[in-house]
Amino acid sequence: MAGGLPRFSEARRKLSEEMSARNVHSAGTVVLSLLMAIIGVALVTQAIAGHGSLLSGRLLLGVLFVAAGAGRLYAQERRRRGASRR
């Protein structure tokens, strides 16, 4: 039984190194940004399929969601590249 404890603690240490708070935050940002962009595309598609005008609220909201999601992804990528240079 004592032989299993060091392996468990070693595995736990490796997991904690791999899943640091910064990595979890970064992954969460990417997931939420992609989700925002997908919601935006769905809103745009729905507005176009419903024969909405160019000034419809759904179309405008969809474009804004896509822009916000893409902007967050861009900022996250710039931040990640800047951190890897240090």
* pLDDT tens, N- to C-terminus, the chain (86 residues): 455 555 667 766 666 666 677 787 888 899 999 999 999 999 999 998 887 677 788 999 999 999 999 999 999 988 888 866 65
Instruction: Report the chain's terminal Cα–Cα distance, integer Å.
Output: 44
Instruction: Evaluate whether residue 13 is within a structural domain.
Output: no
Instruction: Evaluate whether residue 35 is within a structural domain.
Output: yes
Total count of domains within the chain: 1
Instruction: Evaluate whether residue 15 is within a structural domain.
Output: no
Instruction: Evaluate whether residue 53 is within a structural domain.
Output: yes
Q: Tell me if the pTM is above 0.75.
A: no
Domain range for 47:
21-85
Instruction: Evaluate whether residue 2 is within a structural domain.
Output: no
Helical ranges in 1-86 per DSSP H: 4-18, 21-49, 57-85
Instruction: Evaluate whether residue 80 is within a structural domain.
Output: yes
